[in-house]
Amino acid sequence: MPEPTPERPRVSSGAVFVDDDGRILLVDPTYKEFWNLPGGAVDAGETPRQACVREVREELGLDPPIGALLVVAWTPGKLFFVFDGGTLAASQRDAIVLSPGELAAHAFVDAERARALLAPALWPLMFEVLQARAGGTTRYLELS
C-alpha cells in the first residue's frame, strides 16, 4: 500500500455499538494512549464496510450485521468511515473476546465518559457519529 500523503490519506473504518442503555462500546488499544471505537485500517482491495466487518471480527470476536454509514470524516492524513453497529444484545456483549496483544480492555460508556477516554481530537468525530446515529442521517466532516 502506498505511503499516506496529503493527496493519499490513510483510510480507517470502524463501527459504533451501543448496549441496551445506549452506552457506547469503546476499546482500549495496547498501542495507543487513548481509547477508540472498534475498527482499524482499510487494507488494499478492501471496501470500508469489508474492513469494518473484518476489524470487528478480529478485535471483538463478533460478526454482528453492520448497518448504515454514519460519518465520513477527513482529517489531515486520514479518512475515517464510521458505520452503525447497532445495539448489542446481552448474549453478544457476553461473547466479546478481545484480540490478544491488540486490545487491553473494552467498556460501554456514556457520552461524557467517552469524551474523557477518547483522544481530544477525536471527540468532534464521535459527537457527529452520535448525532448522525440519533438522527438516522449520514454526515461528512472535514476536521483539522
pLDDT at 5: 54
Longest CA span, the chain: 43
Kindly report the average pLDDT of the chain as a whole number.
Answer: 94
φ/ψ region of 45 (left if φ > 0, alpha if ψ in -120 to 50, else beta) reads left
Q: How far is CA 40 from CA 94, 98, 110, 142, in A?
A: 22, 14, 22, 19
Instruction: Give the number of residues written for the chain.
Output: 144
The pLDDT confidence band at residue 144, using thresholds 50, 70 and 90, is confident
pLDDT band at 3 (very low <50, low <70, confident <90, very high): low
Arch. (CATH architecture) of 10-142: Alpha-Beta Complex (3.90)
- Chain segment 74-106, per-residue pLDDT in tens: 998 999 999 999 999 999 999 999 999 999 999
Report how far apart the first and last C-alpha atoms of the chain are (Å, whole number): 24
Residue 68's pLDDT is: 98
Can you give the C-alpha Rg of the chain in angstroms? 14
- Counting residues of the chain whose pLDDT is more than 90, the rounded percentage is 90
6 confidence band (pLDDT: 50, 70, 90): low
Which grid coordinates are listed for 78? 486520514
Q: What is the pLDDT of residue 1?
A: 54
Residue spans per domain, the chain: 10-142
